[in-house]
Chains A and B, each alone.
Chain A
Amino acid sequence: MTTSPAERPGTRYDIAVLGAGPAGLAAAVAAAGQGAGTVLIDAGARPGGQYWRHREGDEGALHHGWGHFRRLRRGLSAHGADYRPGHCVWHVERTEAGFTVHATREGSPRTVRAKAVIVATGAYDRQLPFPGWTTPGVFTAGAVQALLKGHGVPAGRRIAVAGTGPFLLPVAAGLAEAGVRVVGVFEAGLPTAFGRHPLATLRNLPKLAEGAGYLGTLLRHRVPYRTRTTVVAAHGTATVTGATVARLDQRWRIVPGSTREIDCDTVAVGYGFTPQTEIPLQLGCAMRRDADGSLVARVDARQRASVDGVYVAGEACGVGGAQLSAVEGELAGLHAAYATTGSAPDRRRLAGLLRRRAAQRSFAAALHRAYPVPDGWQTWLERDTTVCRCEEVTAGAIREAVDDLGATDPRAVKLYARPGMGLCQGRVCGYATTCLVARATGRRPTADDLRGMATRPIAHPLTLGALAAGDDSGGDDSGGG
């Protein structure tokens, strides 16, 4: 590491890693292991992200790959990476010398300077609106799992798990093992299509075994697992008192006469994931629409984004799960370390990582093909079904913005009818609004459509006072979190 006289030692890192989930941890450990001055910045109180979310003192009984997590956590301190929990990053600024990461900690401004940034900000549950989805007691599948893993609290007593994708299985299995009654797992897709990709399957036998393990758990607890079926309405006002379940056709339209009521007090829903791409968008990185319909950052073979000095790893460059994220993180860490310090990585290590990344990516692509989200879900909605819960914008209002006011893209609809204008800034309703507008205008959603709902110069709310205060010019930059 070279330090010019103008820089006080410690005031500027080689690499700032944003996010301490599988990708970010692997990136920070790899970079620090190469001798790069590394800081790991995370919003959570403990490392691990959503995947390894745990309680204080929890040593991993409920977790997959806990040994991997412990190795990474040890590596973090062994290699002397700085770790900054509780930091909400709201903006990353490109400067002449590199990047300035702007965050708040407990509301106070914190800035970190680095020559390169690795964005490992992960993803959150993708939600689709349906009648009653704003009723208290309807959760995202991820929130239900976070409550269980992070706080040991089951979200309800009789839980229906619905949506699509392999993530529904660990959520349901975790609940069942915690003694919660899971009234059913309703998979909207028909994942047998997965068998058509034998190569991806063979390379990823351990992952399939993991899925089979979850299915075994569900069987043991007599939890019904239904495909081509989902929750299309939740009932109740103050709280969920039941739900309507329906069978779906190939395009996810309700099969006439197939609806039935189920008794439950909680619904956990997830239709895949939405990557957190605020930072790459702020930095002007090239983006693309991935096979699962999400907006993600484009990266090259070294996990580099289109902007110099920016690396992206994990879900923000394509949803693919924890193992792929960790591989991408490690690659990003090694390459960023080489670019900033000249410390060359072991070539065999690189080759191995590239092989694993190729295998994991083909598996992820096969999963995306096996669990598509066709737009028939739009037929579940009533005119008065809320799409944007922050601003209480209905499906009817979105339709009117297109039909009556002539809006041709989601951004115009946002400016006419306000979906995505509220506290969550379109994180929840952005995908659904984009799909609704695209279909109403007779086309498929594009990357530009998604970008119109995903661009957020302020990635996390902060007070005007904190903004006005500017950089924290104190010594915190050199501190160890």
Chain B
Amino acid sequence: MTYPSSRPDVLIVGAGVVGAACAYACTAAGLRVAVVERGAAGGGTTSAGEGNILVSDKEPGPELDLALLSSRRWREISEDLGGGTVEYEAKGGVVVAGSRETADGLLRLTAGQRARGVDAVDIGPGELSELEPRVTRQAVGGAFYPQDAQVQPMLATAHLLRRARQRGAVVHTGTGVVGFVRDRRGAVTGVRTDSAEVPVVSARWVINAAGTWAGRLSRLAGAPVPVLPRKGYVLVTEPLPRVVRHKVYTAEYLANVASSDAGLETSVVVEGTRAGTVLIGASRERVGFDRGVSLPVLRTLAAQAIGLFPFLADVLLLRSYLGFRPYCPDHLPVIGADPRAPGLLHACGHEGAGVGLAAATGHLLAQHLTGERPDLDLTPFRPDRFEEATA
């Protein structure tokens, strides 16, 4: 494939949900876009996610601001794509506190979140069982987050890319990047690929949206960002009538999302889907890219889900899947231009929130590339922050 008029403005490496959202936002801003993806669109971590668009699980700070912006952007995108086609659902989140101590911590969190613009409602056991009639009677309280939503991540990725293609983007799947092309001054001007059909793709800017493999790609570019895998599982039950109405999770989940502990952490997230299945996540395990299934993890997830919804004990488990969340040591994503390699930008390291934060990530980078002032300050997400930390 060639670009007869001229080279694309932006080359996006990675066609997961983040790359797709970048392609969508950049083409909407009038930029010419090419995407290269070494496997299939959405075939990496995107295909192993639940499609969460959450504001509830973030503490006040830059990531919460990003999540709030992304939640607004997702609403607009899903209207543009057709909410049904990407299964956008503002189902709302319910956080359950199992002890008085956890409930107190949750009260402090919701107060801080409200100050940043989150719609967070503190609820007692009575309201909790109104929202979720089958939830455990052991719960002492919780919080309700009407803004929490979700999309079907694979469909969202496919439709974002489809819209980008309609606006002129070219997507090369099965095309892996093997190196970067630089000009005499060292600026990145394109990539070399393993595909004989498109051995070189030149562009004014290259965006690293390679997800869990973004660290490897950044090293190829000589501008490393420390993106590492954190393994997680999702259990899927037989289809049921809609008995779990919201995205329901334990308050302990909040502690794990931000944790840096090695080894295994599980704290369960339970939700019903349109297909009737109940999804049960989410564990976090730092075991590299090992695809082996660990039964103790599955067992813990099942036990915690039953703790939250006792009726699940008699429900059949049909399947499980696993994936690798891309995380950075400070648990913040990497978004923005890399001063170490002019022409290179990053959109990676979103950990378990890639789907949720994708919309804002693409939006902010498109603003940056078109010279518009970004809606959010990108300083907390800058790619070279890790070098400062170790210096």
Give me the interface of A with B, judged by CB distance under 8 Å.
91, 93-94, 102, 282, 284, 391, 404-409, 411-412, 415-416, 418, 421-423, 425, 456-458, 461-465, 467-468, 470
Q: Does B174 sit within 8 A of A, measured CB to CB? A: yes
A463-B316 in contact (CB<8A): yes
Q: Is the CB of A411 within 8 A of B318?
A: no
- The residue on A at minimum CB distance from B161 is A406
**Distance, CA A414 to CA B239, complexed state (A):** 17
Query: Lowest 3 CB-CB distances: which A-B pairs, in order?
Result: A465-B313, A405-B158, A468-B303
B173 interface residue, CB < 8 Å from A? Answer: yes
A458–B158 touching, CB < 8 Å: no
**Stretch in B41-49, B60-68, B204-212, B247-255 with 4+ CB within 8 Å of A:** B41-49
Q: Tell me, yes or no, whether B331 is within 8 Å of chain A by CB.
A: no
Q: Do A461 and B320 form a contact, CB below 8 Å, given A284-B292, A408-B173, A421-B275?
A: no
Shortest Cβ distance from residue A103 to the other chain B in the assembled complex, whole angstroms: 13
Whether A425 pairs with B319 at a CB distance below 8 angstroms is: yes
Check A412 against B41 for contact (C-beta < 8 Å).
Answer: yes
Bound CA–CA A91/B154 (angstroms): 27
Q: How far is the CB of B146 from chain A (nearest CB, A)?
A: 28
Min CB–CB distance B277 → chain A (angstroms): 8
Answer yes or no: B299 CB below 8 A from chain A CBs. yes
Question: Per a CB cutoff under 8 Å, which of A422, A456, A465 touches B314?
Answer: A465
A451 vs chain B, min Cβ distance (A): 12
Asked if B159 is at the interface of the complex by the 8 Å CB criterion, the answer is yes
CA distance A91 to B313 in the complex (A): 19
B131 close to A (CB within 8 Å): no
- A458 & B40 in contact (Cβ 8 Å cutoff): no
Contacts of B391 in A (CB 8 A): none
Interface size on B, residues (CB 8 A): 42
- Complex A-B: 16 CB contacts under 8 Å: A93-B293, A284-B291, A406-B158, A406-B173, A407-B40, A416-B154, A421-B275, A425-B319, A457-B320, A457-B321, A464-B302, A464-B305, A464-B306, A465-B302, A465-B306, A465-B313
Residues of B within 8 A of A418 (CB): 275
User: A458 and B318 in contact (CB under 8 A), knowing A91-B293, A418-B275, A464-B302?
Assistant: yes
Residues of B within 8 A of A102 (CB): 295
Q: Does B328 sit within 8 A of A, measured CB to CB? A: no
Output the nearest chain B residue to A415 by Cβ-Cβ distance.
Answer: B154
- B127 beta carbon closer than 8 Å to chain A: no
Within 8 A of A (CB), among B278-305: 280, 291-293, 295, 298-299, 302-303, 305
> B319 near A458 (CB under 8 angstroms)?
yes
B223 within 8 A of A: no
For window 146-179 of chain B, which residues contact chain A by CB distance below 8 Å? 154-155, 158-159, 161-162, 165, 171, 173-174
Contacts of A93 in B (CB 8 A): 293, 295
Chain B residues whose CB sits within 8 angstroms of the CB of A284 once the complex forms = 291-292
Contact of A416 among B158, B239, B314 (CB under 8 A): B158
For B302, list chain A residues within 8 Å (CB): 464-465, 467-468
Among B238, B292, B312, B319, the most chain A Cβ lie within 10 Å of the Cβ of B319
How far apart sit A404 and B41, CA to CA, in the bound complex (Å)? 13
Contact of B154 among A412, A423, A470 (CB under 8 A): A412
Q: Is the CB of B314 within 8 A of A406?
A: no
Closest CB of chain B to A374's CB: distance in Å? Answer: 26
A422 to chain B: which residues have CB within 8 Å? 239, 318
Verify if B237 is at the interface (C-beta below 8 Å from A). Answer: yes
**Interfacial chain A residues near B238, Cβ < 8 Å:** 423, 461
Q: How far is the CB of A422 from chain B (nearest CB, A)?
A: 8
Q: What residues of chain B have their CB less than 8 Å away from a CB belonging to chain A?
A: 40-43, 47, 154-155, 158-159, 161-162, 165, 171, 173-174, 235, 237-239, 275, 280, 291-293, 295, 298-299, 302-303, 305-306, 312-322
Q: Does the CB pair B292–A463 fall under 8 Å? A: no
Known: A405-B159, A406-B161, A468-B313. A415 touches B42 (CB 8 A): yes
A408, B157: Cα distance in complex, Å: 14
User: How near does chain A come to B95, taking the closest CB pair, in angstroms?
Assistant: 21
Which of A411, A462, A468 is within 8 Å of B47, CB to CB? A411
Interface centre among A93, A404, A458 (most CB of B within 10 A): A458
Closest CB-CB distance, A167 to chain B, in whole Å? Answer: 29
Give the docked Cα–Cα distance between A463 and B313 (Å). Answer: 6
* CB within 8 Å for A457 and B293 given contacts A406-B41, A409-B40: yes
**Contact among A409, A462, A464 with B312 in the assembled complex (CB-CB below 8 Å):** A464
The answer for the CA separation of A456 and B236 in the assembled complex, in Å, is 12
B235 and A464 form a contact (CB under 8 A): yes
The complex places the Cα of A463 from the Cα of B321 at a distance, in Å, of: 17
Known A-B contacts A102-B295, A406-B161; A463 and B315 likewise in contact (beta carbons under 8 Å): yes
Most chain B CB atoms below 10 A, which of A91, A102, A461: A461
Knowing that A409-B43, A470-B299 touch, tell me 20 more A-B residue pairs with CB under 8 angstroms. Answer: A93-B293, A94-B292, A405-B155, A406-B41, A406-B162, A407-B40, A416-B155, A418-B275, A425-B318, A456-B319, A458-B317, A458-B319, A461-B317, A463-B317, A464-B302, A464-B314, A465-B313, A465-B314, A467-B302, A468-B303
Asked whether, in the complex, the Cβ of B158 is within 8 Å of the Cβ of A468, the reply is no
CA distance A18 to B314 in the complex (A): 26
Contacts of A467 in B (CB 8 A): 298-299, 302, 317
The answer to whether A405 and B162 touch (CB under 8 A), given A462-B316, A464-B317, A468-B313, is: yes
Q: Tell me the smallest distance from the CB of A305 to a CB of chain B, in Å.
A: 16
**Given the complex, which residues of B lie within 8 Å of A457, measured CB to CB?**
293, 319-322
The CA-CA distance from A467 to B40 in the complex, in Å, is: 33
Q: How far is the CA of A406 from the CA of B295 in the complex (A)?
A: 35
Which among B280, B291, B302, B322 has the highest number of chain A CB atoms within 10 Å? B302
**From B159, B293, B315, contact of A464 by CB (8 A):** B315
A468 touches B320 (CB 8 A): no
In the docked arrangement, what's the CA distance between A467 and B315, Å? 11
**Whole-angstrom distance between the alpha carbons of A407 and B235 in the complex?**
24
Q: Closest A-chain residue to B313, C-beta based? A: A465
Q: Which residues of A contact B295 (CB under 8 A)?
A: 91, 93, 102
Q: A411-B47, A464-B313 are in contact. Are A458 and B320 (CB under 8 A)?
A: yes
Report which of B47, B292, B293 forms a contact with A415, defined as CB distance below 8 A.
Answer: B47
**How far apart sit A181 and B293, CA to CA, in the bound complex (Å)?**
50
**Smallest Cβ distance from B37 to chain A, in angstroms?**
10
A461 near B318 with CB under 8 A, answer yes
* A282 and B161 alpha carbons, distance in the complex (Å): 33
Question: Are A404 and B162 in touch, CB under 8 angstroms?
Answer: yes
Rounded to whole angstroms, the CA-CA distance of A405 and B15 in the bound complex is 13
Across the two chains, which residue of chain A brings its CB closest to B298?
Answer: A467
Chain B residues with CB below 8 A from A405, complex form: 155, 158-159, 162
A418 to B152, CA, bound (A): 12
Residues of B within 8 A of A421 (CB): 275
Instruction: Give the Cβ gap from B198 to chain A, nearest Cβ, in Å.
Output: 15
B42: A residues at CB distance < 8 A: 412, 415
* Bound CA–CA A102/B293 (angstroms): 13
B residues less than 8 Å from A282 (CB atoms): 293
Shortest A391–chain B CB gap in Å is: 8
Assuming the A-B contacts A284-B292, A421-B275, are A406 and B299 also in contact, with contact meaning beta carbons closer than 8 angstroms in the complex?
A: no
A458 to B293, CA, bound (A): 10
Q: Which B residues touch A425, using CB under 8 A?
A: 318-319
Assess the A463–B275 pair: CB atoms within 8 A.
no
Alpha-carbon separation in the docked complex, A95 to B226 (Å): 32
CB distance from A300 to the nearest CB of B (A): 23
CB-CB < 8 A to A423: which residues of B? 238, 318
Task: Collect the chain B residues with CB atoms within 8 Å of residue A404's CB.
Answer: 162
Q: How far is the CA of A405 from the CA of B155 in the complex (A)?
A: 8
Q: Whose C-beta in chain A lies nearest to the C-beta of B320?
A: A457
- Chain A, Cβ-Cβ closest to B299: A470
Distance of A217 Cα from B104 Cα, bound (Å): 80
Known: A102-B295, A284-B292, A421-B275. A411 touches B317 (CB 8 A): no
User: Are A407 and B299 interface neighbours, CB within 8 A?
Assistant: no
Residues of chain A within 8 A of B280, CB atoms compared: 464
